[in-house]
Structure 1
Amino acid sequence: MKKSIVWLVLCLTTTVVQAQSEKPNILIIITDQQNAKMMGVAGNEWLKTPNMDKLANKGLRFEKAYVTNPVCSPSRFSLFTGQYPSAIDMRHNASKLDIAALQKIIPNAMGNAFAKAGYETFYGGKSHLPGAKKEVKPYGFETFISKDERDQLAAESVELLTNRTSDKPFLLALNFINPHDICYEAIRQFPPNNRPPADVPVPLLEAIAIPDSIDEDDFMAKYVPPLPANFEPTSDEPRAIYDLKELHSFTIDAREHWTEKDWRMHRYAYHRLTESVDVQIGMVLDALEASPFADNTIVIFTSDHGEMSGSHRLEHKTVFYEESANVPLVVWYKGMANGQSVDKENMISTGLDLYPTLCDLAGISSLGHLPGLSFAPLLKDQKSDYYSRRYLFMENELGFMIRGDNIKYTLYDNGDEMLIDLEQDPGELVNLSQNVAYKERKAKLKALLQKHIEEANQ
C-alpha cells in the first residue's frame, strides 16, 4: 500500500514537472521601501540578510535599478502595467486619476497578459494598485491572501508552493509590507494635522526598542548604525524639497528636530525590519527549492521604492535621491547564462522593463504597446548592445528627473533645478545646476526631460 502511494506521488510530481517544462513559472517577490543598500551582499555590515544574499549570489544582481516614481502606488502601477504613472495622471498615492486612461491600460496589465497565455496568476499581500483598491482581479490576478503582508503571507505562499498540483505554469506575485513599517516612526512623533493619528505597527515598536539587557551607551556604540556619510543636506539644495512640509509635514519636522541619536535609532529600526522580511522571504525560497517547480521557475526580487534612512537628514521616500529611488533587483533561474554576477553598468527601470522582460523569458506577447525594454539579453550573457537604455526618467509629486550615464538632472514643478554628477559625487552632496562646466550636459538633459514632461501631459 505504501509503495502504491509513493508511486502515485512520484507520478503526479513527474506529470506536473513535465507539463510545466514548456513555459517557466515566475515568482516575483516585492518588498516595500527597501533601498538597494539594504542587503548584506550590497556591502551593508549592519544587517544580516542571508536569504536575499543567497538569491543574489546565485543570480544576477543589478546595481542600477530604479523605480519610475519613488512612492508605493505609482511604482506598483508601473511594475504591473509597464507604463509610467503619468500615463494615468498619477504623481502620488492620492492623485486624482485619469480614469479613462486607466481603463484602457488595465486590460493590458501583466496578470491579464500571462493569464491569456495560459498561466495561473496569483497575487498576495499589499495591493495599493490604482483603480482597484484591494482588488487585483482587474490587473489579471487572483488574490490568494490580502490581509497580512508579513508572516501570514509567507506561510500561505509556502502552502501554495507545497500543495500545488495544477499542470499550468504560474505567475506568483508576493508583496511583503516590510521594511515599510519604518514609515510610522516620524509620523508617530510628528502627527500631521491633515490626517488622523496612525496606528503604529507592532513590528516597528519592537524594532525601535533598546533591549533591557544591554547598556544604552554600549548598545549605541556596538549595534546601532552610524549616520550616513551624506547625512547633511545637499549644498544649494532646491527649495522644492521643503514643499514636502505641505505634503508630508513629518518628513521636514524630523529633519528640523531629530537629534543624531534619533536618526541613528531610525536607521537601526529600518535594518531590523529589513531582517524580518528577509526571514519571510527565506521561507518562500526554501519552499520553492523543495518543490517540483524549483528547476523551472524564474525568481525576481525587487522593491517598490527605497527609504532615505537619514541621508540628507530625510526619512521616507518621494525624493529622487539614490536612497529613495535605487532599489534591489535580482533575477535568478536555473541554468541562466549570466548567474553569479553583478551588473554595475546598465540602468534598469524596474517599472518599465520588468514586464517586457518576463514576457520575453516566457515567450509570450505583452498586451498592447509598452515603453520599456526587455533586459532578458543581459540575463543570457549577451553584450549590453542588445539592451540600450541611454536615459532613464523618473517622476514624483514635486517634479521630474532624467538620468543619463552618471548625470542626474531634475526639474521641479516650481522651476528649481538640480544637477548631480554621481561619478564625482556619489553621495549627491553638491548641486551643479548653476555650474558653467556642466552647461552643455545640463542643456541636453533638460531638453530631453522637457520632451518627456510634454508627452506625459498629453
Structure 2
Amino acid sequence: MKAAFLSRHGFHAVFFAVLYACYLYAIFGVANLGDIGNLAHSCARVVAAAIELAWFYLVGLYLLRRWVVTRRLAWFALYMLLAALVCLGYAAQMYSIYLSNNFISALAMQNLDSVTVTQSTMEWVVLGSGLGWLVLLAVFAWRRRQDIDGWLGGRRWMAALVVVTVLYAYVLTQQRRRIVLEPDYRQVPVASLLVNAGVAVTQGDDHVTGTFAMLNGRACLTDPVAGKVAGYPLEKGVVFTRALPFEPVGGAAAQPNVIVIFTEGTSTRLIGAYGGHYPGLTPNIDRLAARSMKVTDYYNHTAATYRGIVGQTSSGFLFAGGSEKDGWANGGRLAAIHRQTLATILGGHGYDTYFFEPEHDGSPFGHMVRSLGFGGIYTFDKVSALLHGKVTVQDQTDQLDDSSLFRGLTAFLQARAQKTDDKPFFVATYNIGTHAFIPMVKGGHAYGDGHSRVLNKLHNYDAAVGAFLEYFDASPYAKNTIVVFTADHATYPDAPYREVAGKDLKPYFVDRIPLLIHDPTHHLPAVFDAQGRNSLDMAPTLLQLLGIRSVSNSFLGASLFEPRSLPLGITALGDGFFITTPAGVNAMPEVPPVLKAVAECEKGVVETYYKLEEKNRLFKPGA
C-alpha cells in the first residue's frame, strides 16, 4: 500500500510535507518564542498546522482525481490554484516570522500604504522558492497524471475528509483568540492569513461592543465633568481642573509657539538619555533631553501610525487602523468623525497650525492629517518646492528622508521669521526614516561599523534632528517655543530590533516611548515619572502647559500633572488590549489577578469609546 501510494501520489505528498517541514523550522528555528518548554503550546503548534495541511491535501487529492477522470483542464487549474494559495500563504507567513517574529497581522495589512518593503533580498528568495516549488509540482502532476488511481477514494477518503474538516473548522474558530505579538500557538498560517485579511477589510464596521449610555457608570473612569451634552457622554467644557504645579518664567511669551515632533516607531530603549547602551547613538536627542523635562515610564497607548497620531492629538482611540475600508483613503468614513484635537483647539485660540509629513500630495496620510484640523500641510511636494527640489527620497519608499523633512521645517521657520506677523504657531512633524523594515537612506549617518540597520536609522535620524536644533537654538524661536519630542508609537519588534533592544523586551507593539518637553515658559523639573501612564495624556498635558483650560473637548485622558482618568495605563490595538504599569507591559491574559477587574473595566471603557466613534458621537461641535 505504501509503495503504491508513494509511486502514484509522491509528488502530491512531498509538496505538503516540505511545506510542513519548512513551517516547523520557521516556528522552532527562526521565531523567538516566548514559551519554549511549554509542551501544550508546542504540541498545539505542531498539530494545528498538520490539520490545516491535511485538509488541503485531501481536497487536492479530490481535484486531481476529478482531473484524471473528466480530462478537463479546469480541475487541474483548480488544483494548482489551491496549491498556490497554500504555498504562497505559508511562504508569506514564514517570511513574516523571519521579519517580525509574528504572523501577518490585520494591523500590518491596514498600514501597507505607510511604507514600501518589497525590495528585500530575502523576500525575493522566499517568493522565488515558493514559485519554483509550485512549478515543480505542476510538472510532476502533469507527467504522472495517468498513475493517479482511487487511493483514498470512496468511504476512506470521505471519512478522512469529514474528520479533518471538523478539526480544521475548530482551528479556524480559534484564530485571533490571543493577542500576544508572537506566532501564537492557536494560529496556523493560511487560516490566520485569511482571518486577518477579513478583519483588515471589515474592521470599523458595526461589530464593536459596548453601550455608550453606560460610559459614565464605569467605576474605573474618573471624569466628574463629562456627560454635559446629550448623546455625547464624553464631551465636557474643561481640559484640566487644577493649577499647573510649576512656576512660570518671568517675561515669558503669553502664547508660546509649539513644535511637536512625532518620531516614527521609537521606544526609549536605545535613546542615551533614557539609559540606552550604545554610546553616541543619539547625542542630539540626548542634548535636547538635558534641557527638557524627561518623562519616564510613559508608554504608547495605541499603534500603528494612524492610530498613534490621531489618538495622541485627540486623546482617544481608533478601532480601525487607517488604510482599510473605512480609512482615510477615497473619502473613508473615518474622515467624517468629529474629533476635538490639538490643531482645532489651538487654531481656535489664534494659532496657525501646520503639519510636516513625508508623503506626496493626495496620500491617505495627508487626508488623515487634514481631518485633524491642521490648516497647512507640508507634504513631499511642498517641502520639495520650499527647498527648490533639493530633497532626498528615502530608500524603498517614495517619501522624504528625515534630513529633507527637517531641512524643510528649518526653511519654513526661517521664512516665517522674516514676516512681521506675530501670530503663534503650532507645528507637528512625522518622519519615515525610522520605520521598521526599511534601511537607512543611502549616504546617511551610519552608527559604528554600520552592521545594525536599526542603530543606523536612529543615528541618522538623530543627525537630522540635530541639524534642526542647531538652527532652532540660535533662532528667535528658542525663547518663545515649546518643543515636544515624542513618538507615534513604540518600535515594532522585528528581528533586527530584537537583536539590539535587550533581553527584557517583550515581543509586543507596546513599550515605553520618549516624551521630552522643552518649555522656556515654565520651570519644569528635569525628570517627571509618569508611573505607567501613556500617550493618551499627551494632548491635555500640552494644553495645561499652555493654560488653555476652558474649551469643549472629549478627551479620554488627563494631563500628566493631574490625577489620572484611568487607574491603569491601557493600550489598545483595535481589539487587542495591554495594560501598562511601572513594572512593565502585560497582555490581558498576563495581567496579575489583583488587577484583573480594573483591567477588564478599562477594556470596557475603550470598547465603549469605539461605539461612540462608530456612531460619530465623540464630539458635537458647537454644543
TM-score interval w.r.t. the shorter chain? 0.5 to 0.7
Cα displacement (A) at 1:118: 0.5
Cα displacement (A) at 1:113: 1.7
- Decide whether the 8 Å contact of 1:69 with 1:394 is kept in 2: yes
Partner of 1:57: 290
User: Aligned match of 1:39 in 244, 252, 271?
Assistant: 271
Residues in 2 aligned to 1:393 and 1:130: alpha-carbon distance in whole angstroms: 33
Q: 1:133 to 1:72 in 2, by over 3 A?
A: closer
Are 1:183 and 2:412 counterparts?
no
Partner of 1:332: 518
Residue identity opposite 1:60 in structure 2: M
Superposed, 1:272-287 pairs within 5 Å as 272-287=456-471
Partner of 1:155: 407
Cα displacement (A) at 1:356: 1.7
Residues in 2 aligned to 1:278 and 1:43: alpha-carbon distance in whole angstroms: 16
Structure 1 stretches of 4+ with a deviation exceeding 6 A read 127-131, 204-208
**Percent of aligned positions that are identical:** 20
Residues 291-344 of structure 1: CA deviation (Å, up to 9, x unaligned): 21211111100111222254996999xx985674321111011253224x2233
- Decide whether the 8 Å contact of 2:402 with 2:433 is kept in 1: yes
State how many pairs are aligned: 330
Partner of 2:356: 124
Residues in 2 aligned to 1:127 and 1:366: alpha-carbon distance in whole angstroms: 32
Partner of 2:556: 371
Partner of 1:262: none
Residues 137-173 of structure 1: CA deviation (Å, up to 9, x unaligned): 3322201343524222111211122232221001011
Q: 1:157 to 1:60 in 2, by over 3 A?
A: same
Residues 103-130 of structure 1: CA deviation (Å, up to 9, x unaligned): 2324x23212211111011111247999
Q: 1:93 to 1:69 in 2, by over 3 A?
A: farther
User: Aligned match of 2:540 in 340, 356, 369?
Assistant: 356
Residues in 2 aligned to 1:61 and 1:315: alpha-carbon distance in whole angstroms: 23
Which has the larger strand fraction?
1
Q: Which moved more, 1:385-394 or 1:29-38?
A: 385-394
Measured on the aligned residues, the alpha-carbon RMSD in Å equals 3.6
Residues in 2 aligned to 1:367 and 1:102: alpha-carbon distance in whole angstroms: 20
Residues in 2 aligned to 1:163 and 1:45: alpha-carbon distance in whole angstroms: 39
Partner of 2:441: 203
Cα displacement (A) at 1:20: 9.2
Residues 71-91 of structure 1: CA deviation (Å, up to 9, x unaligned): 1111111122222113xxx14
Partner of 1:104: 337
Task: Considering Cα pairs closer than 8 Å and 6+ residues apart, tell me whether 1 or 2 has the greater RCO.
Answer: 1
Secondary structure of 1:174's aligned partner: strand
Secondary structure of 1:348's aligned partner: coil
Residues 5-26 of structure 1: CA deviation (Å, up to 9, x unaligned): xxxxxxxxxxxxxx99320100
Cα displacement (A) at 1:346: 2.8
Residue identity opposite 2:380 in structure 1: S
Secondary structure of 1:325's aligned partner: coil
Superposed, 1:242-261 pairs within 5 Å as none
Q: 1:76 to 1:314 in 2, by over 3 A?
A: farther
Q: 1:324 to 1:369 in 2, by over 3 A?
A: closer
Q: Greater Rg, structure 1 or structure 2? A: 2
- Decide whether the 8 Å contact of 2:366 with 2:377 is kept in 1: no
Q: 1:367 to 1:126 in 2, by over 3 A?
A: farther
Residues in 2 aligned to 1:114 and 1:94: alpha-carbon distance in whole angstroms: 30
Residues in 2 aligned to 1:129 and 1:440: alpha-carbon distance in whole angstroms: 50
Superposed, 1:10-49 pairs within 5 Å as 21-46=253-278, 47-49=280-282
